[in-house]
Structures are given as C-alpha cells and as structure tokens.
Structure 1
Amino acid sequence: MCFKDKLVNSKVIAKKYVGQWRANPDWNFARLSQQLRTETSMDASLWQYYCDKNVARDMILGSVKEQYSKLWEYSAELRMMNPRSLVIMKCSEEAIGENPRFERLYICMAVLKEGWKEGYMPILVLDSCFIKGYHIGQLLTAIEVDLNNQMYIVVYALVEFECKETWFWILELLAADLELNNSHWIMWITD
C-alpha cells in the first residue's frame, strides 16, 4: 500500500535520486514511481515527477539564473581563447549595476571571419529561429557560402525578439566586423 506524505516534496525526491538522473537523463516517470514504491512506500504524481526532474536538473546543471550570471565569464573565455573574435553582450540599460539583465549577445569568431575573407562567394544568408524554454528569444545568424558550396555560420546572435532594431544592431556589427564598406556586390538572402 502506498501513501502520500506532504514532507516528501520535490527537493527531497530530487536529492535522493539525482544520481539516477545524472546517469540516465531519460529516466522516466514509471521507473521513478516504481522505485519510490519499493524503497519508501510513497507514491508520486506525474506533475510531481516533472517538478522532481526539474529540481534534479538544476542540481546537476545549475539553475538558469546561475548560468546567466556566468555569461560574462563565458564571453571573456571566448575572447581569451579566440583572439580577434568579437563577442558583445548587451544588457538592459535600466538594470545595469548590481544585477544586469541579459538582452543580446553577438558572436563572430576570428577563424570564421578569416574564412570569409580568404575564400568566400559574395553570398550571405540571414536566418533566424525561435528559442524556447526559460529564455524565450531568437537566434539570428549570418551564413556564408564558400567556394566549395559549403555553408557555415559567420555570425550568430541571441536577441530578445526579431525586430528592425535587433536586425539593425546585428547588421551594423556584421558590416564592421567583415569590413563590408560597400555591400552592393554581396547577395543577401533572407527567409
């Protein structure tokens, strides 16, 4: 016979089974429920399973807030490991100070920039896709076609949403980064 206990919440279950989720991220509700019943005579609902899994994921990977607090470190590491790369992070102006709020991130790796200058066809494809999850936004990319008809990303940026302002911000940085003084000879393709 199984029973419910209000003291056994998501944190308790996540702490007990975090090793299971670390070893097998696809560990499902049926297995958790069965293990809970045999080990503790407790029962968990499907909703509690999702809460438990989210708490365990945060224990394994760190919370979203912790990850965003490391963006400055990630940007600095990219700059250090890839000299001449351009990494720009923009935070909301009203929150600058103790807790800046992430708004946009622009990345152009030096190696890809050099590839663009060495052997490119004058074609740039601008594309975007939605990002779902904790940080809802869009990923904007500039993709280049080389002389072997291979495509690779020259620039990518994370933005809050796609609008004229964000595209203008990215295209301005892209033009400066790739030294596109006169872009009339480049074929631009958009979705």
Structure 2
Amino acid sequence: MVFEGANQFRKAVTDYAVEYMRQIKLRPNEKHRVRVKCKNANCKWLLYASIDRDSCDFIVKNYHPVHKCIPLNRNKLCNSKLIARKFNDRIVSQPDIRIWEIQDLVRKTLGLYVGKTLCYRAKQRIMKENMGDWKVEFARLCDYEDMIKQTNPGSSCWVKIDKETEPGKNLFVYFYVCFHAFKQGWLEGCRNIIGFDGCFLKGACKCELLVAVGKNGNNQMYPIAWAVVDTETKHSWSWFIRYLIADLNLGTGEGLTIMSDMQKSCYQMLRKGCVLDIYGVTGM
C-alpha cells in the first residue's frame, strides 16, 4: 500500500480503527515513519510504514493483519475531529441538531460510544468552518452597514450598539435593514397593509428576528424590512417601527391596516399608539 505522506496514512489507520472498533497505538509517530500496534499485549496485529528512499512515497513495509483481541465500543481515536469529518454534511444540513442526537448518530453509524463533550466540540468545529467566526462577523456589522448604503443607494441600514454596559466593548443591540427596491415596491404596487411578526434565531447567536411584510397586487407576501434584536421587547419593536415609518412615509398611519400575532410587547405598543395612529389592528 502506497500513501502520499504520513498524514494520509494516519487518517487511513484512524478510519480502520474506528470502523472495526480496534484499540491501536501509534509509536513511533514521526514524519518519516509510523508504527501502529494493537494495544492488547496478546494481539500480534502490526502495521509499519515509512518513506521510501527511491520514490519518496509513504509505503507500508510490514503488516500483520490478524487480530486476536475483542472489538470495544470505546475508542480514543474517535475524537471531535473525526466526528466532524464523518458527519459534516448531516450537521451542516441540520444546524440545530442536539448533542445527544450526535451521540446517537455516532453509536448507530460507527457502533462507538462518545461523550457529550466530544460531540459538542465536533459541532462547534463544523459550525465555525461553515459559518465563520461569528464574533468576528459581529465586529464587522458597521462595515456591512456602510457597504449596504454604498452598493444600494436609497436603502436604509442602521446598527445600534451599547458602549456603556461594558466599558471598552461595543455590544450588539439592534440591526435594521430596508432595501430601496423593497421600499419602492411597497409604495408603488402593494396594498395598504403591513404585518409584523418576530421569531427566535436558533443558531450560534441567540437573537430574535423582527419582520414587516406586506401584500402585493396578487395577494402574495411581500418582504419590506427586517431587524435582528437582542430581545423582543416594546423598546425593540418601537425602534424597528420608527425606522419603518420614516422609510415608507407612513405619517400618522391613516388608511393603513396593521396585522400582528398579538405578541404582548408589539401589540401593547401599537394599541397605545406610541408609534402609529392605528387605522386597524387585526390578529393574524
């Protein structure tokens, strides 16, 4: 058997040990040679590979394929890196998967028991690789705001940051977006009705999404604006709707119908008229 290098060889050995539930150890484990032996002292299974001087390939030079030990359902080689590699597609397609579900997936697929910590680290590794470092992304929200305004003239994008709670840190509070095309589309071709709703974001960042939607001439839903906020409160709804009023030139709201899902903070704010002089309020 020929491998490109020691790393490819180690990966193949790890896959073998996990698939067949064998306890093995790599010693010595160097760049130019790797010796793999079964941890069971009575088992003669052995694998040795090193760099060939002539071809410079990593070649298996000694192999004893017979195991005399019993397969075990725990394996130290089944670490977070391997779990992330084996189940990357499943976790990416289902980012809200629970840790115990990953444990169960490993048990059913590989026949191995792994702890919750390993599964948690594997999920975090995958989320970071596919979603990026969300802390760095939050730090660039103001850059994103400027880019939207530059590339979409007439669009509204606002970021609210808290600089007082923790001195020296800029904490995210609210983020609002309303593209110019959506403004014009609602003003020129939509009915005088706006629906408000909010939902939880279940990703790495536990925020909430507030949305405003309308109805076009075909009675289809039409997105108008949205905001990401830390929590859904009267203050966050008020902040969101005030910007919406300015973008859509709603004034006092005369002739406009508002729909909400009777969410307490939103409904109380609209009913008291602290933002709009409501023409009608209807529960969705």
TM-score, structure 1 normalization? 0.77
Residue 45 of structure 1, aligned match among 74, 92, 114: 114
Residue 106 of structure 2, aligned match among 1, 7, 30: 30
2-structure distance, mates of 1:9, 1:70: 36
Tell me which structure has the larger Cα radius of gyration: 2
2-structure distance, mates of 1:144, 1:129: 17
Deviation at 1:75, TM superposition (A): 2.1
Q: Does the CA-based 8 Å contact 1:141-1:156 persist in structure 2? A: yes
Cα pair distance change 1:50/1:86, threshold 3 Å: same
Cα pair distance change 1:164/1:49, threshold 3 Å: closer
Cα pair distance change 1:46/1:17, threshold 3 Å: closer
Identical-pair percentage = 26
Deviation at 1:92, TM superposition (A): 1.1
2-structure distance, mates of 1:31, 1:53: 16
Residue in 2 that maps onto 1:113: 183
Q: Secondary structure at the match of 2:164?
A: helix
1-structure distance, mates of 2:144, 2:190: 29
Cα pair distance change 1:108/1:96, threshold 3 Å: farther
Where does structure 2 lack aligned partners over 5 or more consecutive residues? 1-21, 24-73, 93-101, 262-284
- Matched ranges for 1:153-172 at <5 A: 153-172=223-242
Residue in 2 that maps onto 1:88: 158
Q: Structure 1 or 2: larger helix share?
A: 1
Q: Does the CA-based 8 Å contact 2:106-2:114 persist in structure 1? A: no
Per-residue deviation, residues 76-121 of structure 1 (Å, max 9, x unmatched): 2222221110000101131588531111101111000000111121
2-structure distance, mates of 1:32, 1:99: 45
Deviation at 1:165, TM superposition (A): 1.0
Q: How many residues align structurally?
A: 178
Q: Does the CA-based 8 Å contact 2:163-2:169 persist in structure 1? A: no
Deviation at 1:70, TM superposition (A): 2.6
Taking CA–CA contacts closer than 8 Å with sequence separation of 6 or more, which of the two structures ends up with the larger relative contact order? 1
Residue in 2 that maps onto 1:151: 221
Per-residue deviation, residues 139-164 of structure 1 (Å, max 9, x unmatched): 11111112221211101011111221
Per-residue deviation, residues 1-51 of structure 1 (Å, max 9, x unmatched): 43655xx796xx42x6766566x35486439974xx9xxxxx661421332
Deviation at 1:132, TM superposition (A): 2.4
Residue in 2 that maps onto 1:40: none
Residue in 2 that maps onto 1:61: 131
Cα pair distance change 1:45/1:67, threshold 3 Å: same
Q: Indicate yes or no: 2:145 matched with 1:75.
A: yes
Residue 125 of structure 1, aligned match among 195, 216, 222: 195
Q: Does the CA-based 8 Å contact 1:33-1:44 persist in structure 2? A: no
Q: Secondary structure at the match of 1:185?
A: coil
Residue 141 of structure 1, aligned match among 208, 211, 230: 211
